[in-house]
Amino acid sequence: MTWYHILLLALGISYFVGAVYQSFQIIATWLWVKRKSDLPADTIEDAPTIVLIIPVLREQNTIAKTLRHLTSLNYPTTRLSVVVVTTERETRENSEAMTRLKELGDWTSSGETPESIIQKLPGLGPPSLVIPILSQFRTHRTQLQKALTSLPSTADVIDSLLPRLTKDLTIRRVHYPYISGAMAHQMNWGIRYVFEVVDRGMDADKTWIALYNADSQPHRDSLAHLAAQIQRYAQSNSALPIAFQQHSTYSSKQGNLISAAAAAWQTRWSLAVEHSRARLATALWLWLANKPYHWGARLIFNLCCPFNYAIGHGLFMRLREFVQMNYLPESTANEDAAFGYLMIYSGNVLLPLPVFDCAEAPGSARMLLAQQSGWFRGPLDGAVYRRLAKARGASPLGFPLEYTLTARVWWDAAIWIFGPVAAVIILCSFLADPAWEAGLGLVTFLFYLTIPTCLSQTLAPWSSDRKKPETILAIAVMPLFYLLHGFAPILYLAKMMRAWSKGETVPKYKTER
């Protein structure tokens, strides 16, 4: 057996081990959720005040559905409010896009299509609203300008909804007045507005901030479960948590196989990796809380605590600690990954909730590549997070947390690239020389793609609503999706190198709906 065949055998074994491990974690997540899903009868009686922060940018199509959904949450409306944060960036980008569209003149004669125009000029508005207008008036420039100008902004849509929705729930719209900045700046602006302007007298120890996206559809009992978890830890005389993470399951664009495969994969990752890491980090954190000054306990935590992902939608944190941590990091490309790093570095973790948010997967291969390449920046920036953490002072957990934590962040980046590259090696080897090692590698690769995905689709909370033909087709195109998923980091690295050569930075991707 040559070294090449040994490599193929090793790759096949790694896929098999990965499939078994993720399948085990998906089942463990399902059992944990099932055990924790019952709410105590007195949960709502001593409920904390919760403020939901939702940053929006060109979300005319989605924000109405989200706000209506939030009014149906099972939580006392006297202790719940929503702050939607619009941004001046939307106004400026729309104005600039309209100017550039005028400069293009007769864009149809140069071979441009409505789809290519919206890719070049996303500031025109959501593709689902703008593309039909571009198609209808492509040869009538005056009518086209008038139709695009008449489109309402996200702020207009929200303002039109508030008179009806505020009968059931306190909803405020806050405007971020700057054209620079990203989602983190909007969220921090909303939190500061609530804390410093609207409710200066609120109790920061009994007020919780919840961050959601414009397309979030959290479980109806999400906030009630948060209150129940807070009460349980307060009554158990154990360490009192300061933050929770609600993980997500994902839905797809109807009829789009790539979107269905992306939704299936992201749901699998949420159940097998993110939720399981949160449970392990919580167990280690509770164990360490009983031995806070024991050097051996701190060392074990430093060596074993996983990189506990923070996710920008479904993140809950007590207001006082949010202020003490100086809110979300604004200097990093991915504020949520950096925030998760800072939480562990400071000796805290994000505890999981037994109910899920439902988010939407990208609707096309192009959107998938753009989203995934942007997400890859999260684990790639491990050294950036380390510098950011050290600038805030030494970790209370001591050596070697900063090194082990950074290594775990980079490990996720390496695996993201390694998995699909290994699949290409196995596939090419099998086509060139169908030896049994290559055949075994191909079988275990398909096993890795299908078995954990089938489990996650079967055991996910909304599995009873999922159409079986859609699930089968999603799994059938999973190999293609997996290669696209692995190509996204390579695409991002290429963009980064080109930007660096020009002295620029890669802008953060915005999901256009």
Q: What is the pLDDT of residues 55-82, one digit of tens each?
A: 999 999 999 999 999 999 999 998 999 9
Query: Which residues, including other chains, have CB under 8 Å from residue 26's CB and lie 6 or more apart?
Result: 268, 271, 272, 452, 455, 456, 459
Mean of per-residue pLDDT scores for the chain: 88
DSSP 256-307: -HHHHHHHHHHHHHIIIIIHHHHHHHHHHHHHHHTSTT-HHHHHHHHHH---
For 107, the 3-state DSSP assignment is helix
3-state secondary structure 471-497: HHHHHHCHHHHHHHHHHHHHHHHHHHH
Domain coordinates of the chain in residue numbers? 1-38+224-513, 49-205
User: Is it the case that residue 245 has pLDDT exceeding 70?
Assistant: yes
Measured N-to-C along each axis, helices 183-193 and 335-345 cross at an angle, to the nearest 10 degrees, of 60
Q: Which residues are CB-neighbours of 71 under 8 A, at least 6 positions away?
A: 165, 168, 169
Q: What pLDDT is attached to residue 464?
A: 44
Q: For residue range 6-18, list pLDDT tens digits in order.
A: 888 899 999 999 9
Crossing angle of helices 468-476 and 478-501, in 10° steps, is 60
Q: Average of pLDDT values for 234-243?
A: 81
Structure tokens at 448: 């890795």
Which of left, alpha, beta for 350 (phi over 0: left; psi -120 to 50: alpha)? Answer: beta
Distance CA 118, CA 128 (A): 10
Whether residue 220 has pLDDT greater than 80: yes
465 pLDDT exceeds 60? no
Average pLDDT over residues 206-222: 93
Q: Which residue has the tokens 């071979």?
A: 111
* 466 against 492, higher pLDDT: 492
Whether 274 has a pLDDT exceeding 90, the answer reads: yes
Q: Is 91 buried (19+), middle (13-18) or exposed (0-12) by CB count in 10 A?
A: middle
User: Is the pLDDT at 467 greater than 60, yes or no?
Assistant: no
- Asked whether the beta carbons of 438 and 429 are under 8 A apart, the reply is yes
404, exposed or middle or buried, with CB in 10 Å at 0-12, 13-18, 19+?
middle
